[in-house]
Amino acid sequence: MQPVELASGALCVNLRPDIGGSIEGMWLGSVPVLRSCPPGQLRSVRQSGSYPLVPFSNRIAQARLVWNGTSHPLVQNFPGEEHSIHGVGWLRSWTVLDGGPDWAMLSLEHKADGSWPFDFDASQVFKLSGNALEMTLAITNQSSQSAPVGLGWHPYFVKRAGSHIQFQAGGRWEMGADKLPTERKANTGLDADCTGLDADHCFDGWSGSVLLRDGLLRTQISADTGRLVVFTNAQQECVAIEPVSHINNAINLIANRADLARAGEDFGVKILAPGESWQQSMRIQTESLA
């Protein structure tokens, strides 16, 4: 399938509904904003510029979901990991429902299986306006029982010389060797150069805005999710700035970490009744500095 091409002035975004409902590339003029490849050449969602996180983000420990006293084994969907990662949306083909020169709506229907034990429908709306990409991700619980859900995005921003990230937060979740959260510590966010940054953490109490700038672009990332995952290190050519609605392994923490629950930790899990819907929004606005 050829990409769905959206354009608004100098801003261009190519979508790949057939490869995880992902973004194949995003450019302002000839400058890539996200990790991008030429139109039609994306072969793997793991090389995309961004993909949706639905019906959960990050990891579910040991690929086993514990909910309402029932343990559900999940598919281990990431090579080399014992956990289940990033939900199912990024691994499925989406359908184009509607669209125009500067917008598109995609949909996904999921029936309970080994990847996720609850039926749901999801949709993505992409809209370009000026130099901004606005995205909405929505989910409807189509199962006969209440179900836990989470939403988010996994965009990879190009890390050029002089890249600098800045945002405010209230706390940061520390991780163990198994890449699962262990405890929350007070943290004010980041104000750092990306070149030597070593981060793989979920921040909560996020202000809802991130400023990423380098010698070519000034990019503002905003969302209503309340939490943010940042991943990069010296070996990475990109910095992943992921607005998410819940912390890593949140659903299982509710069931297994009574110590944190007693401390009043808010993990961010949304519980949808049968037929109930919920959505989150994200915006990427960029401008040229060259």
Determine the pLDDT at residue 227. 97
**129 close to 8: Cβ distance less than 8 angstroms:** yes
50, 190, 64: which is closest to 116 by C-alpha?
A: 64
149, 163, 162, 150: which is closest to 241 by C-alpha?
A: 163
Residue listed under structure tokens 């991130």: 210
**8 close to 128: Cβ distance less than 8 angstroms:** yes
Mind listing the pLDDT tens digit for each residue in 105-132? 999 999 999 999 999 999 999 999 999 9
Query: What is the rounded CA–CA span in Å between residue 25 and residue 32?
Result: 7
Q: Which domain holds residue 64?
A: 4-288
Give the confidence band of 249 by pLDDT, cuts at 50, 70, 90.
very high
Q: How many domains does the chain have?
A: 1
Query: What is the rounded CA–CA span in Å between residue 96 and residue 99?
Result: 8
Query: What is the rounded CA–CA span in Å between residue 112 and residue 88?
Result: 11
175, 112, 176, 163: which is closest to 141 by C-alpha?
A: 112
Amino acid at 15: L
Determine the pLDDT at residue 263. 54
Q: Is 90 helix (H, G, I), strand (E, B) or coil?
A: helix
Helix (H) or strand (E) holding 146: none
Count helices and strands (H / E) in the chain. Answer: 2, 27
CATH number of the domain that residue 266 is part of: 2.70.98.10
Range list of H helices, the chain: 250-256, 258-262
**216 close to 288: Cβ distance less than 8 angstroms:** yes
Q: CB-hemisphere CA count at 13 Å for 4?
A: 25
More confident residue, 26 or 257: 26
Interval 9-27 mean pLDDT: 98
Residue listed under structure tokens 């944190």: 260
Does the pLDDT of residue 262 top 70, yes or no? no
Residue listed under structure tokens 């995880």: 20
Mind listing the pLDDT tens digit for each residue in 30-65? 999 999 999 999 999 999 999 999 999 999 999 999
Cα distances (Å, whole numbers) of residue 276 to 119, 144, 168, 226:
12, 11, 32, 21
Buried b (16+ CB within 10 A) or exposed e, 141-161: bbbeeebbbbbbbbbbbbbbe
